[in-house]
Amino acid sequence: MPGPTIYDVAEAAGVATSTVSRAFSHPGRVSTRTRERVLAVATELGYRPSPHARALLSGRHHTVAMVVSDITNPHYFELIRGAEMRAKASEYTLVLVNAEESPRIEYDQIQRLVPAVDGFVLAASRLPDENLLQISAQRPVVLMNRELAGLPSVVLDHAQGCRQVVEHLASLGHRRLVYLAGPRNSWMAGTRWTALRSAAEELGVEATRIGPFTPRVSQGGAAADGALHSGATALVAHNDLLAIGVVQRLRQRSVRVPEDVSVVGFDDIFASSLCTPTLTTLGGAHAEVGRSAVEVLLQISNQPSRSEPATQIALPAELVIRDSTGLVRR
């Protein structure tokens, strides 16, 4: 069901195709009368310009691809929402790809889309740095919740955030915390650990790390058991899903939260305010991260010169204190 083309409109309006084209793309370069006639005929015929023909000619697709490392995690939801809204606002099309935690899938899908999109926003990419740099040589790339020298990125300020977490725990009297690490190839996992450790050192808290764990509720069992073994009084889980799983396992083992141990998560997903106990977690304006990332992408992909230094944005993280953290038991 191919719609009417520019030829049909031109014929019906009694003008040349180039005039029809101009009436749409450069309304100023056509006399008011012709323009109006052309537009009238076009709407009557239900004409819509073909984005493919346009893209073929211009090389611009008006499309951005968003790749998320694991669509199963409700956290990404917010990122997607923000990205979608920003794209829509500029009449850009958003293509969604789930990498299923597989660098291989992530890479292949990106390569598949290279010739079809204007750029990529990558949420928590699991790809090694070299791959990212290589991709960014093909198309503009904006990283979300990951940083890499030379590439634009939007992140929640993890360093400051982790500091808040440790301060919170220290103020409650905790002296030993354990970080339940995320996936090995997650930049966030590494970064959080570094930030936690340095904040801990500064505040006189002993910090250890166990893992890596796949950040799912189901992995909470293993994480909790490992953590108990460590003797820490505060558990900082890589994300809320893992934290929720940890809390469930602790309850199963009759360890009370927060009386016996405190648990902190990351992301502030919807469920965190509903579970029992409600979860203390490091949140922030995730949708805004998605929004910003697309914004930056549109900006650089509409810039002729690719010379300026990459914009790296850090949005504030916000510690949401709920019921899973409490005073350390004496």
Partner DNA sequence: CTGAAAGCGCTAACAA
Partner DNA sequence: TTGTTAGCGCTTTCAG
Task: Choose the one of DNA, a second copy, none that binds residue 270, judging by a C-beta under 5 to 8 angstroms depending on kind.
Answer: a second copy
CB 19 within 8 A of CB 34: yes
Least Å from the CB of residue 12 to DNA: 12
Binding string, residues 141-170; x marks residues near DNA by CB under 7 A: ------------------------------
Q: What are phi and psi of 271, to 5 degrees?
A: -65, -20
Does residue 85 interact with a second copy by CB under 8 A?
Answer: yes
CB 138 within 8 A of CB 187: no
Q: What is the DSSP letter of 307?
A: -
Q: How remote is the C-alpha of 189 from its chain's centroid?
A: 15
Between helix 240-252 and helix 220-230 the angle, nearest 10°, is 70
Of the residues 58, 254, 305, 307, which one makes contact with DNA according to CB under 7 A:
58
CB 142 within 8 A of CB 312: no
Nearer to a second copy, 24 or 77 (CB): 77
Strand ranges in 184-249 using DSSP code E only, listed in sequence order: 206-210, 234-237
Nearer to a second copy, 40 or 231 (CB): 40
Q: How far apart are the first and last CA of the chain?
A: 74
Q: How far apart are CA 96 and CA 113, in angstroms?
A: 11
Nearer to a second copy, 3 or 316 (CB): 3
Does residue 304 interact with a second copy by CB under 8 A?
Answer: no
Interface residues toward DNA, by CB under 7 A: 2, 5-7, 14-22, 24-26, 29-31, 33-35, 47-50, 53-54, 56-58
Q: Where do contacts with a second copy occur on this chain (CB under 8 A)?
A: 1-3, 48-53, 55-56, 59, 61, 71-72, 74, 77, 80-81, 84-85, 88, 91, 93-98, 109, 111-116, 137-139, 244, 270-271, 274-276
